[in-house]
Structure 1
């Protein structure tokens, strides 16, 4: 028998469920039955609204149909006179679901509806409460078009639908709403032309249509809305010029049209907008000189004219107006950066980078005592950094990289105590690093790479406790590393490669595991932990003993370097004098005997020796001794001689690039054919010549039109060179991340590159070669734009490498590396290449780097795209430079293929032959045929 109490409880529960089930029906019935509503109707409408929403945090838990009034409920406000619900505010309440039209209409006293920062989905309701004045549904996942009925909400004052997924056009007539003062539709997918019809009587104060897909001309009559104070049309696809009606907006304080395709010369009437405080014209196609008329905007605080095609000199007013932030970066401005006597000195941010400025940095720059950010990089500025830099005590970022600065780094830099980022790489700085750098206690990034600095690294750098990134590579620094550097607990990068440093590394967890690429090419840096040295020893320098031009040196030391070594020799000349005589006598006798023996041996054998029918070699002899003899081996029957015109084989001026395994140089064979020569910087890790030659021969047989051919190699025990065909078109990384919008790769070119790389990997895998180091900088483009995959299979040349060492050698491939690579118990297979290829697909289609480092965050591309796919906003991830060139359906298929290739589990990734088949299906729709070979 069922207890009576249990039966009663069950019946009550069923009754409550029945009431909840029929609530929407009751609301509709009540709506049809009586024209007027009551307080109880508000309760019923809100309960219906609750029933259609998911409330994981229980924000609406107290909303109950048993209540008499709703005024005490969370998020609900009532009119104190009538007791009716007049405002509903549920900001960031983690709500999801759809907004029921019936419930909203029943709240006929509602004047304000605010539901921003939730996860509401579905379309916008096609009707709103008749008296609503403020509507804020921003930051949700609403989709579909903005209903045309919105343009008939005569009481609407404020409308915010930003940060959703709304599509379609902006409804006609919306600007004519008599009370409308603020409209924010930014961050959606709205398209088409912006409708005109801005009436002179418009009450509009703020209009934000930025970050959409809007196109065409900016409406010519937008300036008729004479009360506008803020107008943001940035990051769309608007064309044409600025409409002249804007000049009539006397109250406008912000004009933002950055990130469009506007063109033509900048109109001088901008100076008539007297109230203008912020002006953003960046990322367009404006040309000509920057008009002086803008100086009429006396209230300007911020101006951004970057990434256009402006020419001429820097406008005088840019440093004269009381501006706080100014940028003209990425234009074609030229001339001398002059600082006038009446400079306002109010600037906090100044970016003049990426232009053609010349001349010196004037001492008057110190008058800008409020400056926090100064970027003069990538110009042709010469001279020295003035000592007046010490007056800029608030400066946090100084970037003067990529110029022609010379002289010493002034010790006054130590007075800039707020400095967080100092970037002076790619100049011609000389002298030493001043000890005063240690007083810049806030420093996080220090880049002095690619200069001509000499002397020792000051021990005061050990005081930079906040430092994270240090790059001193490509200088002539000498001496030992200060042990005080072990105190730098925040270090993530410390690159001192290609200097003259020696001695032991500091003892710390960072230096114990420092990647080889950070310390390579030094005189002999050693780890005190395991007593191993990482410096690159002197290499044999003779490659063509028959050349009349003499030996080809690997890298002739600079004059300053020679002077340094001469001083060292002179300082120990007394010691040398004691033993010198004996050494000279013994040396002369020994060398004479060895030369006589070598000549007798060479008379009995021919120098060129055919190693097989497939390749030939040329022996070379080191001038020091025969033990260091080298062998130049060229595959095929072409010439093995390098040009005899004195062209330095490994001349730094002919350097093409650097990677984890070595440096690449350009050289020319005697027959005039250019080649690319990779000098490996891992000599001590190669087991033997036989194993090295066996692996190189295997790689030399890999021939495919999408693979860079290996043409030969050079071997000694301390120097190994790989000789490749020269591919002149640069690498994919440059074409994706370092080119202008006008020269960016088209959709067809990007698809062909993806297909070519896929076919190359299929060919490598069929020959048992795993690439291990696939990334965009290892994909070269020939003169026809065809992709050529290089740097393949190099890990097989280094049998002593374990995964830890290997991961440090190819650290530049971070973002492309499969997750199983770091696990010692998982077998490395071709699926590692599939993962890297998937990342490459995403990089090509999005134009984004695989990993992006922000100030306080790290963005992984595959995670970003996968999240966008799950949220249904895949279009947001595509490279904006591809606008209108492709089918979204086709792009979606390829991106999904890239995400499948980057699956965390190797078995879930397809093999490359399957990838090629899928790509072929995208290119050739089902039902058509192709006679092209798969590979």
Structure 2
């Protein structure tokens, strides 16, 4: 009986065990179904993902699916690896079902939409990588609950925006890597970031973060395990206090592209493991800390584009591991030490645009690994070390210095390695070495502005890869070699202006098939223009002015459809212009000085190479009566012409009398106006003297066009209240106001007081000079209001607002601008700038051209505004404008404006105009955060042009447009935005080009 009971008990226990096992199996099955369900729901939000074809709900487990990893112990999904599968669609629901998920990597795809807040419901997540997608919106507040297990978070290269919640990082004790780079986050960096105590990699670059993240005893300084800190290209500002030494584990520190100021922290030298230090493009001032000489591990040091001064560091030879050194665009002085030769690992040395003097140390040639040497814009003197041209350098830039002597002969590795050679703007002399023809890889050769007194060696024609040859203003003589392009078809820019070249333009110039700029002006070239020049189908700019060229212009030149501008003035050309292309629309300035050219724009004799008329002798024929009749007819014609000549003389005399009368009346009127002006100025001088004597003066409004002066403003602040504000810029804030009894609507700019002229007579003189500028496409300055505390400028009010408003801030009830309207705006802007540059004396450079400064009247005529206001500054030169490079519109500043030691001219406005044209045509801003980091508009359009897809960037909201107009306008814009100022056309040339683009080419007449 006892045995039977034992058997029954064992059976019961066995059944219970089987039931428990079945229940456990059912639980696992339910969990597996949750994983399948979550992944299938996630897949459903994607657009036809062929890579995920193996994911099907018919399977009992997802562990066999591609890109899925499971935990072998639990059978749950632990990893989803979908990197680089070209997935598109949205990040849908479902992933929160994967409660065992540790790794989620969906980087390098095309996913859009907002981030799902449900991601915070994954309690075991350790790695979350959503980088390189197109996610938008703000970071969900639920991300602060992602879990204490998260170690790796990468949301970089998306389109996320908005401020970050300050508490977002309060629950990340295990986070070791964080990257939010390449988004549009703004505001301060959250203070809770300091709680991520084990963080060793932090990348917040390329956003809009502001404020100062370096707070003593907190902030970034609390992250003492950091090895990588990248805060570059934000809006961070302020001084960096002592405390970086707490980040003693740092290997890379990137702070470039911000607005940090003050001295460079010397305690950076207490980070002994530092490999890369990049502080360029900030406002750091003072000396480079001498303690940097102890950073023996440093391989990369970039301090460019700051306001550093003092002597070039003599301890630089201590940094024996240094590979890249860039301190360009500062104010460093002194000389280079001989210890430069100790930098055996140095590959790149960039010292451009400082004030470094003395000889270039011969020890530099001991830097055997050197590839790039850029010393442009300093005060170096003496000769160029000969052995410099025996090294394996790829780029030599010694322009804008005071080097003397001859160009050293080349030998060794440099023949195969050298890509760029720029020795321009020095005092070099002697022959151009023929060895230069052996630089097999050379692409850019600039020897301009020297005293070479040399012929052009024919060996230059051996340069197979040369794209730019510039030897302007170097006292060249002799003939242009005919074989310049025999070995190379890649030459795109040939500039030989301002020399003493003689002889004809070689017929072989037609072999330079890739030329788009040919400039041979201001030489002594003679003979005809070769017809072979018409073979240059890609030529866009041709300058032949101020030579001795003669004969007729080949009519074949009219077939050059890509030619945008040509200048043949001051030669000895005769006959008709080529009938096609750009020539019928050339401006008189491009043709003048050729007394034999036939054009309605020119005065003087016109010589045509036509067959001489046949003259018959009437006595040579037997029919003398017939000859007698012909002789009488000729006599009658001569008498008729004599009568017409006398009539013409009488008419001319009468016209002269009338002109003289008009001149006399005009002078009398001018005299009267001067007397009235004298009275006005006398009154104004009385008014002005009170301010200089210390007596407070009463503010008054002066209107130039109505001669209204002395009108008092009872309350000027009532005109410029916040409610009437309509814009602002570099010099002040603009308001809409009503003045006078007639209720005239005007635009009033309240100038910022900083650096504005303080004496009323100085202010009056400069404003009146600007007020005299009158042009259809220039916003007229109508008057001003002045007190020592308040300065206002009065100008016409634009009915249709600004171009900025119509392009980017247009309300839905306003239709987009059509192509014709956009073309009218850009052509009008070009005409306005051309007037400022070429018709004003001295020329007026705008410096701050952007869409908000282009006003539109009731007919959408463009009005260039805000011009010339730099004249109202107490201290104005090109450098002071360059110093404001961070205050202007992003993307519009020409490269030369960034270099504070470079003088600038009208070409900086041409660059800004080109950027604005691209913005008008594409509807996009000059700089945007796109799919792959920052999108630079002109680079983007240039790439599309090279790929043949440039019309893909056109703003389709403007409706239909003619490809034949839009495409050449885009090309003009890209030429205007060239990095080399000399390549950019003048604004008068731009106007000519645009007019040609809009004007249909006349059909060639039959048999012409």
- Pick aligned residue for 2:768 from 745, 749, 759: 759
Q: How far, CA to CA, are the matches of 1:869 and 1:302 in structure 2?
A: 29
Does structure 1 conserve the Cα–Cα contact (< 8 Å) formed by 2:314 and 2:336? no
Name 2:115's counterpart in structure 1: 60
The 3 A distance-change label for structure 1 pair 312 and 89 is same
* Counterpart for residue 335 of structure 1: 405
Match of 1:859 among 907, 915, 929: 915
Shift of 1:772: 6.6
Are 2:345 and 2:369, in contact at CA under 8 Å, matched by a contact in 1? yes
User: Equivalents in 2 of 1:385, 1:113: separation in Å?
Assistant: 58
The answer on whether the counterparts of 1:76 and 1:85 sit within 8 Å (CA) in structure 2 is: no
Q: Does 1:153 align with 2:215?
A: no
* 1:462 corresponding residue in structure 2: 534
The answer on 1:358 being equivalent to 2:429 is yes
Alignment partner of 1:460: what SS?
helix
Alignment of 1:237-252 (within 5 A): 237-252=307-322
Match for residue 290 of structure 2? 220
1:770 aligned partner: 774
Following superposition, the deviation at residue 525 of structure 1 comes to 3.5
Contact 2:552-2:575 within 8 A present in 1 as well: yes
Q: Structure 1 435/576 Cα, relative in aligned 2: closer, same or farther at 3 Å?
A: farther
CA separation of 1:200 and 1:121: change in aligned 2, threshold 3 A: closer
How far, CA to CA, are the matches of 1:630 and 1:290 in structure 2?
Answer: 73
Matched, 1:273 2:353: no
Say whether 1:131 aligns with 2:198: yes
- What are the ranges of 5 or more consecutive residues in structure 2 without an aligned counterpart? 1-78, 80-94, 100-109, 133-142, 619-630, 679-753, 780-823, 838-844, 883-896, 898-904, 930-1008
Q: Is the 8 A contact 1:176 1:198 kept in 2?
A: no
Superposition deviation, residue 274 in structure 1 = 0.8
Deviations 1:565-596 (A, max 9, x none): 9xx99x99999999xxx9xxx9xxx9xx9xxx
Using the TM superposition, give the Cα deviation of residue 105 of structure 1 relative to its aligned residue in structure 2, in angstroms: 2.5
Please show how residues 799-814 of structure 1 align to structure 2 within 5 Å. 811=834, 813=836
Describe the superposition over 1:778-837 as per-residue Cα deviations: whole angstroms up to 9, x where unpaired.
xxxxxxxxxxxxxxxxxxxxxxxx999998798464797999999999599xx9586644
CA contact 1:151–1:171 (8 Å) conserved in 2: no
| Equivalent position of 2:499 in the other structure | 427
* Distance in 1 of aligned mates of 2:398 and 2:242: 37
1:141 to 208, 213, 217: 208
| Match of residue 846, structure 1, among 868, 875, 881 | 881
- In the alignment, what sits opposite 1:374? 445
Q: Matches of 2:350 and 2:118 in 1, distance apart?
A: 47
What is the CA–CA distance in structure 1 between the aligned matches of 2:655 and 2:291, rounded to whole Å?
Answer: 77
CA contact (8 A) 2:588 2:602 kept: no
Q: Deviations over 1:264-298 (max 9, x none)?
A: 12111111111111101111111111111111111
Find the aligned partners of 1:431 and 1:630 in 2 and give their Cα distance: 49
8 Å CA contact 1:124–1:147 kept in 2: the answer is no
Q: Quick one: distance in 1 between partners of 2:240 and 2:233?
A: 15
Residues in 2 aligned to 1:576 and 1:352: alpha-carbon distance in whole angstroms: 67
Supply the distance in 2 between the matched residues of 1:92 and 1:263 (Cα, whole angstroms). Answer: 40
Q: Secondary structure, in 3 states, of the residue corresponding to 2:589?
A: helix
**Cα deviations by residue, 1:164-205 (Å, 9 ceiling, x for unpaired):** 111112242314523211011001111111122355771110
Deviation at 1:372, TM superposition (A): 0.8
TM-score (norm 1): 0.58
Q: Is the 8 A contact 2:832 2:863 kept in 1?
A: no
Give the distance between the partners of 2:669 and 2:504, measured in 1 at CA. 47
Secondary structure at the aligned position of 2:169 is classed as helix
Deviation at 1:317, TM superposition (A): 2.5
Deviation at 1:262, TM superposition (A): 0.9
| In structure 1, distance between residues paired with 2:231 and 2:870 | 34
1:387 has 2:458 as partner: yes
The CA distance in 2 between the partners of 1:296 and 1:517, in whole Å, is 53
Task: Sort the Cα spacing of 1:246 and 1:510 in 2 relative to 1 into closer, same or farther, 3 A.
Answer: same
The SS at the match of 2:414 is coil
Q: CA 1:755–1:772 in structure 2 vs 1: closer, same or farther (change >3 Å)? A: farther
> Which structure is higher in RCO with an 8 Å CA cutoff and minimum separation 6?
2
Tell me the TM-score normalized by structure 2. 0.54
Query: For residue 683 of structure 1, what is the aligned residue in structure 2?
Result: none
- Displacement of 1:136 in angstroms is 0.8
Q: Partners in 1 of 2:914 and 2:828 — Cα distance?
A: 24
- Partner of 2:261, secondary structure, is strand
Distance 1:222 1:827, change over 3 A: closer
Tell me, yes or no, if structure 1 residue 508 matches structure 2 residue 556. Answer: no
Pick from 362, 366, 377 the counterpart of residue 292 of structure 1. 362
Pairs within 5 Å for 1:16-35: none
How far is 1:441 from its partner?
Answer: 1.2
Equivalent pair of 2:131/2:158 in contact (CA under 8 Å): no
1:94 equivalent to 2:159? Answer yes
Q: Residue 66 of structure 1: CA displacement? A: 5.3
**Counterparts of 1:245-264 in structure 2 under 5 Å?**
245-264=315-334
Q: Does 1:325 align with 2:395?
A: yes
Matches within 5 A, 1:145-184: 145-148=212-215, 149=218, 150-184=220-254
Change (3 A) 1:632 1:386: farther
Shift in alpha-carbon separation, 1:410–1:143, aligned structure 2, 3 A: same
Q: Using the TM superposition, name which of 442-451 and 93-102 deviates more.
A: 93-102
CA offsets 1:389-421 (integer angstroms, 9 cap, x no match): 111111111111112111111101122321111
Residues 76 and 96 of structure 1: is their aligned pair in 2 closer, same or farther, counting only changes over 3 Å? closer
Unmatched 5+ stretches in structure 1: 1-38, 45-54, 527-531, 540-564, 598-624, 634-686, 706-745, 776-801, 872-935
Instruction: Determine helix, strand or coil for the equivalent of 1:382.
Output: coil
SS in 1 for 2:440: coil
Contact kept? 1:302, 1:326, Cα under 8 Å: yes
**Aligned residues of 1:56 and 1:94 also touching (Cα < 8 A):** no
CA apart distance, 1:433: 1.0
Q: 1:517, CA displacement in angstroms?
A: 2.2
Aligned position for 1:636: none
State the SS of the aligned residue for 1:326: strand
Indicate the SS of the match to 2:113: coil
Q: What SS does the corresponding residue of 1:183 show, helix, strand or coil? A: strand
Alpha-carbon distance in structure 2 between the residues aligned to 1:497 and 1:146: 60
Q: Which whole-Å CA distance do the structure 2 matches of 1:103 and 1:805 have between them?
A: 51
1:513 Cα deviation after fit = 2.7
The whole-number CA distance in structure 2 between the counterparts of 1:343 and 1:626 is: 80
- C-alpha distance in 2, partners of 1:859/1:697? 48
Question: Counterpart in 2 of 1:75?
Answer: 130
CA shift for structure 1 position 331:
0.8
For residues 461-480 of structure 1, what are the structure 2 equivalents within 5 Å? 461-480=533-552
How far does residue 627 in structure 1 lie from its aligned partner after superposition? 9.6
SS in 2 for 1:138: coil
Please give the secondary structure, in 1, of the residue aligned with 2:437: helix
Distance 1:387 1:280 in 2: 32
**Cα displacement string for residues 635-657 of structure 1 (whole angstroms, at most 9, x for unaligned residues):** xxxxxxxxxxxxxxxxxxxxxxx
For the Cα contact (< 8 Å) 1:401–1:425, is it kept in 2?
Answer: yes
The C-alpha deviation readout for 1:521-562, integer Å capped at 9, x for no partner, is 223434xxxxx53333169xxxxxxxxxxxxxxxxxxxxxxx
For residue 479 of structure 2, the aligned residue among 396, 408, 411 is 408
Change (3 A) 1:807 1:695: farther
Task: Give the deviation of 1:210 after TM superposition.
Answer: 0.7
Q: Which residue of 1 aligns with 2:182?
A: 117
Distance in 2 between residues matched to 1:281 and 1:437, nearest whole Å: 38
Residues 251 and 394 of structure 1: CA distance in aligned 2, closer, same or farther (over 3 Å): same
User: Deviations 1:331-380 (Å, cap 9, x if unpaired)?
Assistant: 11112223155573232111111111122212222122221111111111
1:453 aligned residue? 525
Relative to 1, partners in 2 of residues 1:236 and 1:699: Cα closer, same or farther, differing over 3 Å? farther
| Conserved 8 A contact 1:334-1:357 | yes
* CA–CA distance in structure 1, aligned partners of residues 467 and 279 of structure 2: 34
Q: Is the partner of 1:121 in helix, strand or coil?
A: strand
